[in-house]
Structure 1
C-alpha cells in the first residue's frame, strides 16, 4: 500500500511539474506575441502585393514604413502618402520599401510599383530601393532616396519628378547625389 501511495504521489508531483512548465511556456509565448504585435502597431507594415493595403499603409492612419512584396501594377491609380510619422529613432520619416531583404539586411529583391502618380504629402518621405514607375509629385519637405551601406542611389523613378514649388526642388537638388533618386523623366516644378 505504501508503494502505491508513493507511486501515486510521485506521478502527481511529476504531472504538476509538467503542467506548470507547459503553462509558463504558453504565457511566455503569449507575451512574445503581444510584444511583436506592439512592434507592428508602433510603425512598420509587412510587405503587400495589394494596392488597397499599400494605400492604407501610407495613409495618415498608416505606419511610418510601408512595403511591397513583389511588383505591383496599379497604372491607373494615384497613391497618396499622407501624415506625419517618426521612425524607431524618433526622427520624422516616412519610407516606401520596394524590396525584400534577408536576416542580415542584405537586399535580396527589388520591385517596381507602377502607378499613374505617387503624391507625397508626408515630410521626410523617401523611396528605398526599387522603382516607382509613374510620376512622383512632391508637396512636402525632405523628399529623398534611401542612403546607407549598399543602398545609396538604388531608388529610381521611371517617370517625372514634380515639386510643388521651387523651394522644395532647390532643397532636393542640394542633397548629395547618393540621397537623390534616379529619374528617367524630367525634374520640374508644377
Structure 2
C-alpha cells in the first residue's frame, strides 16, 4: 500500500511538472524561485512555472507566498494554526489564444493518476485563508476555516469550504465562480 502511494505521488509529480514547463525567449530560464525585473511598461509577474508538491505544513505555508510557486499541491491533509495568505502573481507556463502568458494560482488539495482522475482528496485547515493572487482557485479538496477573497476572479473547482467566505468588495463577490460540485457551508458576504 505504501509503495502504491509513493508510485501515485511520483506519477502526479511527473504529470504536473511535465505540463508546467515553459521557455523564456532570448535568455536562459530563471531558477524556479527567481523573479524577473519588469520593464517599465510590463506588468510585474513571476516566471515561476513549477509546482510545489508538499507534505509538511511549513512547506505549504511558504509555497503560498510571493516567493512560492503557481501551484501548491498537497499530498496529505495540512493543518496550520496561522492565518494563511495566497499572494503573488504567477505565470503557469501556458499561453492564451493571443500568445500572452497565462496568470494563474492553484491550491491543489488532491492527487491524480496518469489520466488526470482524482485519486485522493485532502483537507487544508487554518483559521483564515486570504486570497490575493489573481486568477486563483482551490481545487478538488476541502478548506476548513474562513476564506477572505480580495481578488475579482477567484474560483472553487470541485472543492468545499467548511466555513464562511468573505469578499473584500462587491467586485470580488461578483467575479467569484464556483462549479456545481463545489460547496460552502457558511455565509457568503462582502466584509470590508
Question: Given the two structures, how large is their TM-score scaled by the length of structure 2?
Answer: 0.69
* Corresponding position of 2:183: 182
Q: Is the 8 A contact 2:152 2:174 kept in 1?
A: no
Cα distance in 1, alignment partners of residues 171 and 52 from structure 2:
34
Shift of 1:104: 1.6
Equivalent position to 1:107, from 106, 114, 118:
118
Q: How far has the Cα of 1:179 moved from its partner?
A: 7.0
- 5+ long unaligned stretches in structure 1: 1-34, 147-153
Counterparts of 1:5-154 in structure 2, within 5 Å, are: 39=21, 41=32, 42-74=48-80, 76-89=81-94, 90-146=101-157, 154=158
- Report the aligned-residue RMSD: 2.2
Q: Cα 1:52–1:81, aligned 2, differ >3 Å: closer, same or farther?
A: same
3-state secondary structure, aligned to 1:67: strand
Describe the SS at the equivalent of 1:117.
strand
Q: Counting helix residues as a fraction of each chain, which structure ranks higher? A: 1
Residue in 2 that maps onto 1:4: none
Deviations 1:86-125 (A, max 9, x none): 2121211100000001122111000000010111111111
Q: Is 1:159 the counterpart of 2:170 in the alignment?
A: no
Unaligned runs of 5+ in 2: 1-16, 22-30, 33-47, 95-100
**Aligned residues of 2:52 and 2:63 also touching (Cα < 8 A):** no
Q: Name the residue aligned to 2:24.
A: none
Q: Secondary structure at the match of 2:103?
A: coil
Aligned length: 144
Structure with the bigger percentage of strand: 2
With the length of structure 1 as denominator, give the TM-score of the two structures.
0.69
Q: Which runs of 4+ in 1 moved over 4 A?
A: none
Change (3 A) 1:44 1:179: farther
